[in-house]
C-alpha cells in the first residue's frame, strides 16, 4: 500500500504521481468511450514479450484512426523510464490512448496517452489447483481485432456472473465460441489436440505463446468451436497476460472432464512459466 | 467565445469553471468506456421536455447498474442552478454518469456525475432547405435501449462518412433499419404514412414528439423498415434533440423521392418548432 501511494504515471509527456493523474472531461473516452489500450507484464525492470504488445497497441490505434504520438523506440524509452522510476518487483503496465480533448464532444482530437504501472496480482495457487467456474453469454465485440476500451457488456455482466458464482464469462456468437472479455479460450479434445477459436477474437500474446509451446508436444488447431463441443472437451482453460493459464472445470453449471484441472493444462502452465524465466534470463539488465 | 471561457460545469457536487473539470484516470469511462449519458435542450433558463430526458437517464443508469447519486428532484435543482449560473440563450445540457474511480480498473465504484452546458449549434437554414446525404452501415449497438457512452463504431465511421461526402451514417441489422449513432429515422410512404423503426433503437424524445405531432394529421406506424423500402420512400428524415428534423435527400448515393426535402418533412419541422414555443410559453419564469 505504501509503495502504491508513490507510483508514477505517464500522462502526455509528463511523469506525475498517480494521485495527480487526471484527464479533462472533454476527453473522448469520457464523452464517447473512444480509445484503445494494451497491457503487458514486467518482471523487475524487464518487460515481457514487449515487441508483441507494442505491435498490437500500434495496430489497435491505427484501426481506430488514433495516431500514437511517439515512435515505438520513443515509447520503449518512456516505458523503461516509468518502470525504473516505480521500481516494482512484478508489475502490470497499461498504456491507454484516447480520442483526445474533443472540441465538440464527438470528433477525435490529438490523442491523450496515459501509461500506468501497478503491482501484479496473479491467480492464487489454490485457484490454479481447483480450477474455475465460468458461464457463457451470446455477444460479439464491435471490432474484435482491436483492443478498444469498450467493455460495456463485460462489466455489465459482472452482476450476472457473480450471481452464478462464476469467475469469468465466455462469449459465443451464433453457437460459435469466441473469447472472454479479457482472456482467450482453449480446449483439449479426446485425442489430445489443443483447439482455440480462430475468428472474431482479440489475438492474445499469451495465446500465441501457449500455442507455440503446445505445438512442441501436441497437435494445435485454430478453428471454430461450438458451444456443444466445449462441454464434451477433456480439458478447457483460459489464457491471459495476468492469469497466464487458468483451468476451467465448470461451464454453465456443467462439469468439464473430470471436474479437476487437466494434466495437459497444468503441464502447459509449467511450460509457460519456464518460457517467461528463459526470456527474463536472456537479457540481464 | 468569451462566454464559453467562463462556463461552469457540475462535477460530483461542485460547480467548477469548465477548464478545471477533470476526472482521475482511474475513472471507468477512461479505463473501460463504461458510462451512460443524456442530453437535452434549454431555451434561456427553461429545459425542454426535461421529464422525458430524466426518465431516460435514470433508466439507462439503472440498466447499467449505475446508481444516480441524486433523486430526480435534487438533480432538477442542480440543473436549474447550473443553467442559471451559465445564463446562456439557447443551450444543450449533457449529463454523464460514469462507472466511477475503480480500484482495479474493471469493477465499478461510486459513479461520477458530470453536467456540462454549452451554446447550442442548430443546423443552418441552408442545410434544412437542401437536405442531407447519408450512408448506411451494418451494425447493432450493444444495448440499444441504453444511452451508453460507447460510440466506438459511430466515431470510427466518421472517416468513411466524410470520404463519401455524407453527413450521417444510418445503421441496419440483417437488412432492417435501426437508427443513426445519435438520431432516429423516419420515412414517408407512398400513401403518406409516417413509418419509424420499432426495434433495437434508442427511443428519442424528439422521435416521440414528432410521432405525436404527425399523428394529428397522418397515419403513424412503428415497425420494421427494410433497406430496400427506404430507397423507395417518398420522403425520409432524421430526428434528434439538436437537429430537430433534418430532411434526407440521398442515401448511399441514391436520390430519395424528388431529391429535395419533402412537404410533410418540412411541415412537421414547423409543427415541432411550434410545439417547443408552446411548451416554453406554458411556464413563464
Whether residue A193 is contained in a domain is answered as yes
Q: Which of A85, A101, A119 is where one domain is finished?
A: A119
In 3D, which of A41, A38, A36 has the Cα closest to residue A241?
A41
CATH number for position A18: 3.30.470.10
In this structure, the answer to whether residues A141 and A272 fall within a common structural domain is yes
- CB-based contact (8 Å) between A27 and chain B? yes
Please give, rounded to a whole number of angstroms, the shortest distance from the CA of B168 to a CA of chain A. Answer: 13
Cα angle B22-B27-B28, degrees, rounded to a multiple of 5: 140
> Which residue, A251, A186, A267, A170, is CA-closest to A221?
A186
Q: Judge if B174 and B270 occupy the same domain.
A: yes
Are A63 and A202 contained in the same domain?
no
Q: Per this entry, what is the length of chain A?
A: 285
> CA A83, A87, A92, A96: dihedral to nearest 10 degrees?
-40
Q: Is residue B150 part of a domain?
A: yes
pLDDT for res B6: 86
State whether A16 and A138 are in the same domain.
no
Q: Residue A115's CB: how many other CB atoms inside 10 A?
A: 22
Main-chain phi, psi angles of A32, to 5 degrees: -140, 15
Q: Which residues pair with B246 in a beta bridge?
A: B238
- Answer yes or no: do B112 and B152 share one domain: no
A positions 187-216 inside 8 Å of B (CB): none
Window B:104-123, CB contacts with A under 8 Å: 105-108, 114, 116
Mutate to test the interface with A, among B21, B60, B156, B242 (most CBs of A within 10 A): B156
B197, B39, B247, B222: CA torsion to nearest 10:
20
User: Chain B interface, mutation test: which of A28, A150, A202, most B Cβ atoms within 10 Å?
Assistant: A150
Predicted complex ipTM = 0.96
C-alpha separations of A60 from A96, A268, B231 in Å? 11, 29, 35
Burial of B120 (0-12, 13-18, 19+ CB in 10 A): middle
Co-location of A105 and A223 in the same domain: no
Specify if B237 maps to a domain: yes
Domain boundary among B90, B119, B148: B119
Residues of chain B with Cβ-Cβ distance to A106 below 8 Å are 151, 155, 182
Check B33 against A151: CB less than 8 A apart.
yes
Enumerate residue ranges in chain A where pLDDT < 50: 1-4, 285
Do residues A83 and A198 both lie within one domain? no
Q: Kindly give, in sequence order, each residue whose CB lies less than 8 Å from that of residue B97, ignoring residues fewer than 6 positions away.
A: B35, B36, B37, B57, B61, B66, B68, B111, B112, B113
Q: What pLDDT, on the 0 to 100 scale, is given for residue A3?
A: 46
Q: Are B63 and B49 in contact (CB under 8 A)?
A: no
DSSP one-letter string for B69-136: SS-HHHHHHHHHHHHHHH--SEEEEEEEEE--B-SSSSS--SPPEEEEEEE--PPPHHHHHH-EEEEE
Query: What is the model's pLDDT at position A284?
Result: 53
In angstroms, the CA B202 to CA B156 distance is 20
pLDDT for B5: 54
One domain, residues A262 and A181: yes
pLDDT for position A6? 86
Nearest-CA distance from B124 to chain A in Å? 17
Beta partners for A47?
A42
A96 contacts on B by Cβ (under 8 Å)? 25, 30-31
Calpha distance B54→A131 (Å, rounded):
45
By C-alpha distance, which of A263, A273, A268 is closest to A214?
A268
What confidence score (pLDDT) does residue A2 get? 42
pLDDT at position B157 is 97
- The answer to whether residue B36 is domain-embedded is yes
Low-confidence ranges of chain B (pLDDT < 70): 1-5, 283-285
Measured CA distances, A276 to A43, A80, A270 (Å): 9, 19, 10
B74 with B187, same domain: the answer is no
Q: To probe the interface with B, which of A9, A20, A31 has the most B CB atoms within 10 Å?
A: A31
> Which ranges of chain B does DSSP label H, i.e. alpha helix?
2-5, 28-32, 50-63, 72-86, 125-130, 152-156, 158-163, 205-215, 227-231, 263-282
Burial B226-246, CB ≥16 within 10 A → b, else e: ebeebeebbbbbbbbbbbbbb
Domain total of chain A: 2
Residues A63 and A152 in one domain: no
Look at residue A151 in the predicted model and tell me its pLDDT. Answer: 97
What does the alpha-carbon distance between residue A61 and residue B81 come to, in Å, rounded to a whole number?
A: 40
CB under 8 Å to B24, separation ≥6 — which residues? A19, A21, A22, B101
Distance (Å, rounded) from C-alpha A62 to C-alpha A59? Answer: 5
pLDDT at B51: 97
* pLDDT at residue A182, rounded to an integer: 97
In a domain, A153, yes or no: yes
Chain B interface, mutation test: which of A20, A33, A120, A174, most B Cβ atoms within 10 Å?
A: A33
Residue-number span of the structural domain to which A46 is assigned: 3-119
User: Are the C-beta atoms of residues A51 and A132 closer than 8 Å to each other?
Assistant: no
Domain boundary among A119, A143, A171: A119
Q: Do A33 and B153 touch (CB under 8 A)?
A: no
- Which residues have CB under 8 Å from A89's CB, separation 6+? A43, A44, A119
> Do A63 and A148 meet the contact criterion of CB atoms below 8 Å apart?
no
For residues A103 and A163, membership in a common domain is answered with no
pLDDT at residue A113, rounded to an integer: 98
Helices (H), chain A: 28-32, 50-63, 72-86, 125-130, 152-156, 158-163, 205-215, 227-231, 263-282
Provide the angle, in degrees to the nearest 10, between the axes of the packed helices A205-215 and A50-63.
Answer: 130
Interchain proximity B155–A28, CB inside 8 Å = yes
pLDDT of A1:
39
d(CA B226, CA B231): 9
- Widest distance between CA atoms in chain A: 58
Question: Same domain, yes or no, for B15 and B85?
Answer: yes
A154 within some domain: yes
Q: Is position B282 within any domain?
A: no
* H or E segment to which residue B173 belongs: strand B168-173
Asked if the Cβ–Cβ distance from A25 to B24 is below 8 Å, we say no
Query: How far is A154 from chain B, CA to nearest CA, in Å?
Result: 9
List of chain A residues whose C-beta atoms are within 8 Å of the C-beta of residue B148:
33, 152
Asked if A64 and A36 touch (Cβ cutoff 8 Å), the reply is: yes
CB atoms within 10 A of CB B185: 26
Q: Write down the pLDDT at residue A35.
A: 98
Give, in order, the Cα–Cα distances in Å from A243 to each of A3, A103, A122, A185, A211: 23, 39, 6, 12, 16
A151, B27: Cβ pair inside 8 Å? no
Are the Cβ atoms of A32 and B96 closer than 8 angstroms? no
User: What are the residues whose beta carbons fall under 8 Å from the beta carbon of A148, sequence distance 6 or more?
Assistant: A35, A36, A37, A60, A64, A141, A142, B33, B152
Amino acid at each position: 500500500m505504501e509503495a502504491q501511494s508513490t507510483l508514477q504515471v505517464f500522462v502526455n509527456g509528463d511523469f506525475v504521481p498517480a494521485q495527480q493523474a487526471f484527464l479533462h472531461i472533454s476527453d473522448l473516452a469520457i464523452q464517447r468511450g473512444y480509445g484503445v489500450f494494451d497491457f503487458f507484464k514486467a518482471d523487475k525492470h524487464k518487460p515481457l514479450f514487449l515487441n508483441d504488445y507494442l505491435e498490437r497497441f500500434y495496430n489497435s490505434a491505427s484501426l481506430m484512426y488514433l495516431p500514437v504520438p511517439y515512435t515505438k523506440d520513443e515509447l520503449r524509452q518512456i516505458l523503461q523510464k516509468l518502470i525504473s522510476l516505480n521500481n516494482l518487483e512484478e508489475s502490470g503496465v497499461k498504456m491507454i490512448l484516447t480520442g483526445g480533448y474533443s472540441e465538440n464532444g464527438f470528433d477525435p482530437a490529438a490523442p491523450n496517452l496515459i501509461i500506468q504501472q501497478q503491482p501484479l496480482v496473479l491467480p492464487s495457487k489454490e485457484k490454479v489447483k481447483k480450477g474455475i467456474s465460468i458461464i457463457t453469454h451470446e455477444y460479439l465485440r464491435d471490432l474484435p481485432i482491436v483492443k478498444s476500451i469498450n467493455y460495456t457488456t463485460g462489466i455489465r455482466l459482472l452482476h450476472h456472473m457473480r450471481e452464478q458464482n462464476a469467475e469469468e464469462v465466455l462469449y459465443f456468437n451464433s453457437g460459435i465460441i469466441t473469447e472472454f472479455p479479457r482472456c482467450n479460450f482453449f480446449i483439449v479434445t479426446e485425442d489430445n489436440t489443443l483447439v482455440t477459436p480462430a475468428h472474431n477474437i482479440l489475438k492474445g500474446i499469451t495465446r500465441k505463446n501457449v500455442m507455440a509451446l503446445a505445438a512442441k508436444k501436441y497437435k494445435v488447431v485454430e478453428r471454430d468451436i461450438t458451444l456443444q463441443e466445449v462441454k464434451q472437451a477433456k480439458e478447457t482453460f483460459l489464457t491471459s497476460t495476468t492469469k497466464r493459464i487458468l483451468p476451467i472445470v465448470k461451464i454453465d453449471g456443467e462439469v468439464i472432464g473430470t471436474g479437476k484441472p487437466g494434466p495437459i493444462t497444468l503441464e502447459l502452465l509449467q511450460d509457460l512459466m519456464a518460457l517467461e524465466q528463459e526470456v527474463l534470463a536472456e537479457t540481464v539488465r
